[in-house]
Amino acid sequence: MIRNPDVIPGAEEYDVDVTIDPAERERLLSVGPEDVAGPGEDGGPDHLSFARNVFIPLTTACRYTCTYCTYYDPPGQASLLSPEDVREICREGADAGCTEALFTFGDDPDDRYDAIYDQLAEWGHDSIHTYLREACEIALEEGLLPHANPGDQTREQMAEVADLNASMGVMLETTADLEAHSGSRRKEPGQRLATIRTAGELGVPFTTGILVGIGEDWADRAESLLAIAALHERYNHVQEVIVQPVSPNERWDREPPSLETMRRTVAMARAGLPETVSVQVPPNLARTRDLLDCGVDDLGGVSPVTDDHVNPDYAWPALDELRAIADDAGVPLRERLPVYDRYVDEDWLSEQVLATVSTVTSTDETGT
Ligand SMILES: O=c1nc2n(C[C@H](O)[C@H](O)[C@H](O)CO)c3cc(O)ccc3cc-2c(=O)[nH]1
Ligand SMILES: C[C@H]1O[C@@H](n2cnc3c(N)ncnc32)[C@H](O)[C@@H]1O
Ligand code: MET
Ligand code: SF4
């Protein structure tokens, strides 16, 4: 066994103890698309799912500067949505039949962003997390289910908002120490894994994933997937794993991963994760049709109303397009909530979230 504290940067500091069986890693490294089943195939998924969301970029301030990211704004230019902005976006989303309020924003802005904190203080908040709690309340009031991905979170931060979220998420990205995360303030795999573990401890249905093509190698991809699988085995909380190709933008002008790389990585994800954990590829970034047979069963959150603010150059396909993809694969397209069905009970969700689940389900007129 490889004990990850020995090999994963930051694992020791964050006391993350996951073990990876070298034999499992070797097995995954030899997996290819021919070894897994796609929708409609024997043993493959019997449908494709997606969720309808609105993307709410609470703040563009971020403590990190990941070199592939076009999302964050430097101090002085960073934005903060007001409670009224949040309500407005939620209303528009609810009117368009969305079920999910996706709060994805900069990781815990640091003290270079004094103006953001001054504004938060004016609104009665001393952290982005207490403000996120208010934003989640607004979303629930408007009939949407919050799914927050604020990046890394301490146990205290996650506990502050967990009861108002249907599910939460953070991309592991990778277990490797990479140039793309270089700099004095940087994402550390150990801290990401600790966030995923905290979600397990707090009983939060969770979305995570890997970012493909940021400098990691095949062994890193296998290890990243196995680290996710190890934490899921402990807590049973990982509902889906996103296999996200890094996509070029004005800050990242490298080639995205090839179709062949994506095919093999998706197959590795399918083979390395338990069957109940969905494998998602984002339909605006990946060549979904050419990846289905590698084990994809979910198309993620798509929005009829808002942009993908993380990847603004990549438009969402229309619902018709998703339906055509499912048709081609010979399986039905099913709209899901941001929380997967198996987690919809009192063990996993608060009364408040369950109440909104009931409203959303009873007014469901999606007809997919
Ligand atoms: O529109 C996006 N949605 C992203 N989502 C949303 C995701 O597709 C849905 O919110 C989940 O499938 C839940 O329905 C993420 C959610 C996470 O928990 C973690 C990472 C992402 C990444 C993106 C993203 O880059 N763009
Ligand atoms: C919210 C998630 O968006 C992903 N992310 C950030 N930048 C990019 C990019 N250029 N292409 C694809 N995904 C990206 C990261 O994986 C982050 O965790
Ligand atoms: C554009 S990334 C948004 C979420 C968070 N900052 C993360 O990287 O996980
Ligand atoms: S990917 Fe997330 S953590 Fe990295 S710079 Fe962008 S917003 Fe910040």
Q: What is the DSSP string of 161-192?
A: HGGG-SEEE---B-SS--GGG-SSS---HHHH
Question: pLDDT for 138-194, tens place per residue?
Answer: 999 999 999 999 999 999 999 999 999 999 999 999 999 999 998 788 999 999 999
pLDDT for 2 equals: 60
**Residue from 79, 116, 187, 246 to probe ligand 4 pocket by mutation (most atoms less than 8 Å from CB):** 187
pTM for the model stands at 0.97
- For the CA of 192, the nearest ligand: 3
Is residue 364 over pLDDT 90? no
Element (H, E) at 120: helix 114-122
Q: What is the position in ligand 4's atom list of the atom closest to the CA of 70? A: 6
C-alpha span between 57 and 78 (Å, rounded) = 11
User: If we measure between CA atoms, which residue out of 206, 196, 229 comes closest to residue 339?
Assistant: 206
> Looking at residue 368, what is its pLDDT?
55
State the distance from the centre of ligand 1 to the C-alpha of 23, rounded, in angstroms. Answer: 31
- pLDDT for the residue numbered 363: 74
Q: Is 66 labelled as part of a ligand binding site?
A: yes
pLDDT given at position 111: 84
Task: Select from 240, 181, 251 the least CA-distant residue to 216.
Answer: 181
Is 62 annotated in a binding site? The answer is yes
In a 3-state reduction of DSSP, which class is residue 54? strand
175 and 220 Cβ atoms separated by less than 8 Å: yes
Q: Is the pLDDT of residue 365 over 60?
A: no
- Ligand 4: residue of 55, 59, 62, 170 to mutate (most ligand atoms within 8 A of CB) is 62
- Residue 32's pLDDT is what? 98
Burial class of residue 195 (count of CB atoms within 10 Å of its CB; 0-12, 13-18, 19+): buried
Distance CA 157, CA 276 (A): 28
**366 pLDDT above the threshold of 80:** no
When pLDDT is averaged across residues 209-216 and rounded to a whole number, the result is 98
- Percent residues over pLDDT 90 in the chain: 91
Contacts of residue 320, defined as CB under 8 A and 6 or more positions apart, other chains included, come to none
Residue 75's H or E segment, with its range, is none
- Residue of the nearest CA to atom 4 in ligand 4? 66
Q: Identify whether the C-beta of residue 241 lies closer than 8 Å to the C-beta of residue 280.
A: yes
Q: Which residue ranges form the domains of the chain, and what is each CATH number? A: 2-54+148-362 (3.20.20.70)
Q: Whole-angstrom distance between the N-terminal and C-terminal Cα of the chain? A: 46
How far apart CA 129 and CA 16 sit, in angstroms, is 23
Tell me which residues have their CB closer than 6 angstroms to ligand 4. 62, 64-66, 69, 71-72, 106-107, 151
Q: Which residues of 225-235 are buried (b: 16+ CB within 10 A; e: fewer)?
A: bbbbbbbbeeb
Reference 299, options 6, 53, 23, 34; nearest CA is 53
Tell whether the model's pLDDT for residue 228 goes beyond 70.
yes
